């Protein structure tokens, strides 16, 4: 292929990608206009230091506004994360006047409040401890106010004792997380302990209703995809850096992290490859924009239907049933051990029925 033919091919590919991006942006607008986005998603970015959480915020801001601002401080090279607090970026950090394209700005005037909110947390250690499980649960449950210093939170945890922080903080429904994005660099070691810690938090159930306490959809973002070299993926430019990996190594890492999340939903469908705007990325702006728009679309698409929160009377009714069940078992046990006489049995049954009848009347009266 001649140089001219190669340039023509690249130009056609770029035009095709830009057309796809325009179509993706239109799909995002249509989703935002739907009733499912009346309450914006709250997305928690979680992962180890250097996974690219802050870079993701900056990239989304760039894609939506057309202007690159470092609204989230990010490290570079071997530097550790600079995020020390729980930061919240309302509506992806986008402000209307920053949108450079006039038609996009006009379209976004009414849709901006429907964009997801993003929570960027400090990098977490690769451990599975009661201390970390409590902090993750507080993050997901909306107990921690945006702007909170993670270091100060850990000190407060030491003062109160592990497991007591819920008594200190009051949850806010506006902070409660609806989607979790676990970020993992393709060249980094997989933090299996941290993943197991997150899995255990998501398994917590309500003892009264036996439903999951935190109904969050989990996504995995494989970052630093630009470091994949000699890939069959035509969208890659293989930059051949010292830290680059082969396509086979990348797919192996992708499989390993999917296996680590094997018990948290259909993670195969929810695994995405990600590239951020940085200084030395072998991707064109159109390629990065394409991945960012696909990610944003997935974040605002309707997910798995969530069960409604149990009301006070739902929990009360469940408690009545469980109490009756325990009482019946206790009576049967006492009968087997012959500790009860007939008068005692009749008295217990009478009190049980009175208790159930009173609870039933209270429930019906409240409806």
Summary mean pLDDT of the chain = 79
The pLDDT assigned to 77 comes to 46
pLDDT over 90 at 226, yes or no: no
The pLDDT assigned to 80 comes to 47
DSSP string covering 147-165: T-BHHHHHHHHHHH-TT-G
pTM for this predicted structure: 0.77
The pLDDT assigned to 252 comes to 86
Q: In the chain, where are the structural domains located? A: 3-300, 312-366
User: Taking Cα atoms as reference points, which of 187, 164, 309, 303 lies closest to residue 244?
Assistant: 187
Which CATH fold topology does 3-300 show? Rossmann fold (3.40.50)
The pLDDT assigned to 59 comes to 92
The pLDDT assigned to 129 comes to 94
The pLDDT assigned to 359 comes to 65
Write out pLDDT tens, residues 297-319: 999 988 665 656 666 666 666 66
pLDDT over 60 at 188, yes or no: yes
| Chain position carrying tokens 């933090």 | 191
pLDDT over 90 at 133, yes or no: yes
User: Taking Cα atoms as reference points, which of 135, 117, 134 lies closest to residue 181?
Assistant: 117
pLDDT over 50 at 235, yes or no: no
pLDDT over 50 at 281, yes or no: yes
CA angle centred on 188, ends 45 and 151, rounded to 5°: 45
The pLDDT assigned to 29 comes to 94
Identify which has the larger pLDDT, 323 or 261: 261
Most confident region among 83-92, 135-144, 162-171, 305-314 by mean pLDDT: 135-144
CA–CA separation, 358 vs 338, rounded Å?
A: 30
The sign of the torsion formed by the CA atoms of 159, 164, 170, 173 equals positive
């Amino acid at each position: 292929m001649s140089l001219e033919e190669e340039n023509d091919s690249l130009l056609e590919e770029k035009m095709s990608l830009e057309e796809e991006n325009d179509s993706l942006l239109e799909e995002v607008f249509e989703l935002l206009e739907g009733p499912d986005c009346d309450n914006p998603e709250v997305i928690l970015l979680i992962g180890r230091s250097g996974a690219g959480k802050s870079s993701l915020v900056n990239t989304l801001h760039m894609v939506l506004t057309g202007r690159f601002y470092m609204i989230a401080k990010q490290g570079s090279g071997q530097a550790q994360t600079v995020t020390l607090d729980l930061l919240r970026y309302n509506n992806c950090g986008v402000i209307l006047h920053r949108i450079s394209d006039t038609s996009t700005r006009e379209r976004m005037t009414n849709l901006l409040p429907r964009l997801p909110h993003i929570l960027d947390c400090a990098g977490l250690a690769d451990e599975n401890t009661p201390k970390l499980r409590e902090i993750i649960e507080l993050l997901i449950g909306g107990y921690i106010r945006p702007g909170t210093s993670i270091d100060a939170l850990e000190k407060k945890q030491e003062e109160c004792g592990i497991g007591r922080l819920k008594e200190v903080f009051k949850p806010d429904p506006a902070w409660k997380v609806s989607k979790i994005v676990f970020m993992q660099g393709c060249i980094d070691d997989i933090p299996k302990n941290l993943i197991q810690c997150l899995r255990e938090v998501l398994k917590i159930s309500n003892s009264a209703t036996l439903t999951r306490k935190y109904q969050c959809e989990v996504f995995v973002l494989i970052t630093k995809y630009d470091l994949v070299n000699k890939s069959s993926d035509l969208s890659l430019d293989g930059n051949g850096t010292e830290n680059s990996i082969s396509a086979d190594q990348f797919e192996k890492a992708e499989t390993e992290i999917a296996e680590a999340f094997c018990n948290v939903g259909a993670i195969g469908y929810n695994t995405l490859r990600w590239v951020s705007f940085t200084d030395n990325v072998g991707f064109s702006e159109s390629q990065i924009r394409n991945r960012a728009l696909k990610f944003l679309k997935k974040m605002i698409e309707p997910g798995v239907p969530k069960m409604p929160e149990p009301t006070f009377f739902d929990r009360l009714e469940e408690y009545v049933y469980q109490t009756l069940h325990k009482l019946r078992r206790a009576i049967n046990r006492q009968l087997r051990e012959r500790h009860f006489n007939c008068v005692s049995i009749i008295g217990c049954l009478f009190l049980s029925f009175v208790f159930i009848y009173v609870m039933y009347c209270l429930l019906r009266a409240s409806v």
